[in-house]
Amino acid sequence: MEFKTDALLLRSAEYGENDRMVTLLTADRGKLSAAMKGVRKAGAKLNFASQPFCFAEYVFAERGGRYTVTGASLHDGFFSLRNDLTALYAAFTVTEAADALLYEGMAGGALLVSAVRALGALSEGGGTGALVRYLLEALSLAGYPVHAGECPVCGKMPSGRMRFDMGTGSFTCAACSEGVPASESNLLAMQTALGGEIPAGGGALRALRLLKAYFTAKTEASLPALGEYLHLTASAE
């Protein structure tokens, strides 16, 4: 049986003499692993579709529950991301987070839209703020939303020194929870991103650090590319 669906490449691994096994985030079937035969041969036509960040309409053949990619037509390869190491690690954060949040069989359409939009924003220099917006969207789609409103303990809007509670994904007053220390700029950056805008400045960077910790608390994924991104960004300041 053959079928087509839009998909983003999350990762690929070499196997056999000339082949790759790819893991894709598809619009119609969530996360899917498929073989790509012969793509490491010189001049292989489908090589592009086994490269990082390839967003394409993929054609699959299914046989006995195994999938093979038999064709692909490129929507976007986000090639400009490869010119800048910091942007490259930001882009790998997008695919590594999607990979960690999705299990095989889970619907992936909304996450695909979010991931492709994030890669587009990063290609245009969106940086830290684009990652904050994306991680908030992705975590919410996976059932781990962040709340940047009233303190869930006392109902007041947290201000000044505050905390972030990993259990509920909420900002609280300093006195209302045992969460990690957080700041008003941190909360503001999250509110901006939750409103669909791209936050900027030091608040966005602190929000990104907090989201890394929250992501790991929820999924146990350590997001090594995000660690590298934060490292490079901190040393550039």
Q: Where do contacts with Zn ion occur on this chain (CB under 5 A)?
A: 151, 153-154, 173, 176
Q: How far is the CB of 51 from Zn ion (least distance, A)?
A: 48
CB nearer Zn ion, residue 159 or residue 222: 159
Q: How far is the CB of 170 from Zn ion (least distance, A)?
A: 10
Q: At 21, list the tokens.
A: 């096994």
CB nearer Zn ion, residue 43 or residue 160: 160
Q: How far is the CB of 167 from Zn ion (least distance, A)?
A: 15
Ramachandran quadrant class, 185 (left: phi over 0; alpha: psi -120 to 50; beta: rest): alpha
Q: How far is the CB of 48 from Zn ion (least distance, A)?
A: 52
Q: Tell me the residue nearest to Zn ion as measured from the CB.
A: 151
CB nearer Zn ion, residue 34 or residue 151: 151
CB nearer Zn ion, residue 113 or residue 153: 153
Alpha carbons within 13 angstroms on the beta-carbon side of residue 199 total 25
Ramachandran quadrant class, 34 (left: phi over 0; alpha: psi -120 to 50; beta: rest): beta
Q: How far is the CB of 204 from Zn ion (least distance, A)?
A: 24
Q: How far is the CB of 154 from Zn ion (least distance, A)?
A: 3
CA distance 95 to 98: 5
CB nearer Zn ion, residue 137 or residue 165: 165
CB nearer Zn ion, residue 123 or residue 186: 186
Q: How far is the CB of 207 from Zn ion (least distance, A)?
A: 20
CB nearer Zn ion, residue 106 or residue 154: 154
